Amino acid sequence: MHRKRLKKVVCMVLTVAMIGTTFVAVPAFAEDTQAGQSTSGVQTEDNSSAAESGSAEAETPDKASVSSAETQSKAPLKLSAKPVTSDAAQNTPGQFAVKFTGAWLDPAQQKKLTDAGWTLTYELKDQNDKVLTKVTDIASFVYKIQDSGTKYKLVCTAAKQGETAQVFESALLSGYKFLSAPTGVSVKCPKSDNNVTIKWKKVSDASGYLIYRTTSKSEIPAKQTKTISSGKTTSYVDKNRSGKKTYYYYVRAIYKGSSNGSDYQTASEASARKSVTVNWYLTCGVRTIKWYTTTKTSAKLYTSRTGSKSKGTLKKGTYVIVTDKYPRKILNWDVPKRIYVKQLKDGKSGKVIRKGWVRWKDCKTVKGNVPYSKKLDKNNDWTKKVKEKWVNKKKYGSKTRYLIWISQYTQHVTIFKGKKGHWKVYKSFRCCSGKFQQPTPKSKSFTIHKHKMKRTRLTKHGNPYYYTHLSFFTGGDSFHTICWYEGTRRVVKGMSNSGQPNTRGCVRLDEKYAVWIYRHIPNGTKVISY
**Residue 1 pLDDT level (bands cut at 50, 70, 90):** very low
Q: How many C-beta atoms surround the C-beta of residue 275 within 10 A?
A: 12
CA distances for 390 relative to 104, 238, 301, 326, 379, angstroms: 68, 19, 39, 34, 18
Q: If you average pLDDT over residues 298-307, what whole number do you get? A: 96
With 90 as the cut, is the pLDDT of residue 281 above it?
Answer: no
Half-sphere exposure of 490 (CA within 13 A, CB side): 7
User: β-pairing, 526-529 with 402-407?
Assistant: parallel
Predicted pLDDT of residue 499: 77
What's the pLDDT tens digit per position in 457-484?
999 889 999 999 999 999 889 999 999 9
pLDDT of 34 higher than 50: no
Q: To the nearest whole percent, how much of the chain has pLDDT over 90?
A: 65
pLDDT on residue 464 = 95
Confidence of residue 62 (pLDDT cuts 50, 70, 90): very low
> Is 506 among the catalytic positions?
yes
pLDDT tens digits, 194-227: 788 999 999 999 999 999 999 888 889 989 999 9
Q: What is the pLDDT of residue 165?
A: 75
CA-wise closest residue to 408 among 482, 500, 490, 485:
500
Q: How confident is the model at residue 373 (pLDDT cuts 50, 70, 90)?
A: low
First to last CA, the chain: 130
More confident residue, 75 or 267: 267
Q: Which CATH class is domain 95-174?
A: mainly beta
Q: Which residues of 349-382 are buried (b: 16+ CB within 10 A; e: fewer)?
A: eeeeeeebbbebebbeebbbebbbeeebeebbbb
Distance CA 83, CA 173 (A): 13
Name the β-bridge partners of 275: 248
The pLDDT-based confidence of 241 (bands split at 50, 70, 90) is low
Residue 166 has pLDDT above 90, yes or no: no
Q: What is the Cα–Cα distance from 401 to 520, expressed in whole angstroms?
A: 11
Least confident stretch, 58-62, 166-170, 206-210, 308-312: 58-62
Residue 420 to residue 426: CA distance in whole angstroms: 15
What is the 3-class SS of 484-525, one letter each residue? EECCCCCEEECCCCCCCCCECCCEECCHHHHHHHHHHCCCCC
Domain spanning 291-368: which CATH class is it, in words? mainly beta
**pLDDT in the model for residue 303:** 96
188 near 277, Cβ under 8 Å? Answer: no
The single residue of 412, 431, 480, 483 carrying the catalytic annotation is 480
Number of C-beta neighbours around residue 514 at 10 A: 25
- Residue 505, amino acid: G
pLDDT at position 283 is: 66
Quick one: pLDDT band at residue 243, thresholds 50, 70, 90? Answer: low
Express each pLDDT in 115-161 by its tens digit: 988 889 999 999 999 999 999 999 999 999 999 989 999 999 888 88
Residue 497: what pLDDT? 67
* Contact assessment for residue 291 and residue 325, using Cβ atoms and an 8 Å cutoff: no
Residue whose C-alpha is closest to residue 305's, from 353, 335, 341: 341
Domains of the chain by residue range: 95-174, 186-278, 291-368, 376-529
507-524 pLDDT, tens digit per residue, is 999 999 999 999 999 999
Q: Is residue 252's pLDDT more than 50?
A: yes
Q: Is 452:478 a contact under the CB 8 Å cutoff?
A: yes
Contact between residue 210 and residue 224 where contact means Cβ atoms under 8 Å apart = yes
**Per-position DSSP letters for 394-456, written without gaps between them:** HT---SSSEEEEEETTTTEEEEEES-TT--EEEEEEE-B-B-SSSPPPPEEEEE--EEEEEEE
Residue type, 428: S
Task: Please give the pLDDT value at position 277.
Answer: 82
Res. 14 pLDDT band, cuts 50 70 90? very low
Per-residue model confidence (pLDDT) at position 61: 38
Mean pLDDT over residues 176-182, rounded? 97
C-alpha–C-alpha distance, residues 94 and 80, integer Å = 20
Rounded CA separation 160/167 (Å): 12
Fold for the domain defined by 376-529: L,D-transpeptidase catalytic domain-like (2.40.440)
Amino acid (one-letter) located at 74: K
User: What is 186-278's CATH topology?
Assistant: Immunoglobulin-like (2.60.40)
DSSP structural state of residue 57: G
Q: Are strands 507-508 and 478-480 parallel, antiparallel or unpaired?
A: parallel
Residue 231 DSSP SS3: coil
Q: How confident is the model at residue 175 (pLDDT cuts 50, 70, 90)?
A: very high
Helix (H) or strand (E) holding 389: helix 384-394
CA pseudo-torsion sign 209, 213, 216, 221? negative
Instruction: Fill in the DSSP letter of residue 244.
Output: S
**Per-residue pLDDT tens digits for 386-445:** 899 999 999 999 999 999 999 999 999 999 999 999 999 999 999 999 999 999 999 988
- Answer left, alpha or beta for residue 109, where phi above 0 means left and psi between -120 and 50 means alpha: alpha
Question: Could you report the per-residue pLDDT of 38-51, keeping only the tens digit for each?
Answer: 333 333 334 333 33
Q: What value does the mean pLDDT take over residues 75-93?
A: 93
Candidates 386, 380, 388, 411; CA nearest to 288 is 411
Catalytic: which of 189, 363, 431, 506? Answer: 506
Let me know if the fold of 95-174 is the same as that of 291-368. no
Taking the alpha carbons of 184, 190, 196, 202 in that order, is the dihedral positive or negative? negative
Residue among 381, 439, 377, 368 nearest 410 (CA):
381
- pLDDT tens, 374-401? 554 455 788 888 899 999 999 999 999 9
**Average pLDDT of the chain, as a whole number:** 84
**pLDDT attached to residue 171:** 93
Q: Which is it for strands 483-485 and 424-430: parallel, antiparallel or unpaired?
A: unpaired
Assign 25 to helix, strand or coil. Answer: strand
Higher-pLDDT residue of 26 and 281 is 281
